[in-house]
Structure 1
Amino acid sequence: MGISRHATAHWEGDLKGGKGTLDTPQSGLLSGTAYGFNTRFGDKKGTNPEELIAAAHAGCFTMALSAKLGEAGFTPTALDTRAEVDLSMEGGPSLSQIRLKLKAQVPGIDEKQFRAIADDAKQNCPVSKALSAVPISLEAELVG
């Protein structure tokens, strides 16, 4: 049996004037966190689906990379990932692109091996697999 996690969403009102809240009861990280049209398309404080997908993807990819580096005998000093999720409005709203931007400190690894392991993590982390309908790119920089 696998692991199951959940989140809940509550919404009141129409699309543009309405408002909602998100909760992650198991972790407590989100508790009545605001989301709505203006947090997604405007500058009102709160979250939105694209930001949450970006956070999930950055976290999943980074953990997968750490695991794959460990399997290859390397322990990273630091892995810093930024995930950017684009929402296109052409032809109706859809996720159009995800860019993973990684800066990594991995003692003893060469650039070619690092890139191969990073590409493998990008292709095979569970969130990348779930989002396979969206083009995903990776900029991976070995620093230090």
Structure 2
Amino acid sequence: MTTQPATTSTNSSNFFARFAGKVTAWSGTTAAFCLALGTVLVWAITGPLFQYSETWQLVINTGTTIITFLMVFLIQRAQNKDSLVLHLKLNELLAAHKGASNRLINAQDFSEEEINLLHEYFCLLADKAKQDHDLGRTHSIEEAEENHQEKRRAHR
């Protein structure tokens, strides 16, 4: 059985992804800033020519509003992709590292309550490490507690 070619929606999605990536990358360049600055300067210089009319003001207001509105979505899309890629890389590191706790894989999908609970967990872990005077010794709360108890028994 042969594989079907990519669907039109996939092609258009890929096109949009490439387009959004290029526009987002370009919008952060010096050339983009110079173009925006030049546009504002041309608009300001033409003010006396149009007697600073409401139409003259409306042109810049409408133009900047439309561009800002569209750029918010393009930049957010790029940010979402970058964030997902970063999470995937971190998940790979967690999964590959023998001593790392796998509980944090896909932590970006946790609820706010779960994230706060994990924050408390790591605060407790940091406190245990401070008591042990060795920040890199343990990697889980269970091991930290066990090491802490062993040290207490040894000091008695």
TM-score for the superposition, normalised by structure 1: 0.29
Please identify which structure carries the higher strand content: 1
TM-score for the superposition, normalised by structure 2: 0.27
Instruction: With a CA cutoff of 8 Å and minimum separation of 6, indicate the structure with the bigger relative contact order.
Output: 1
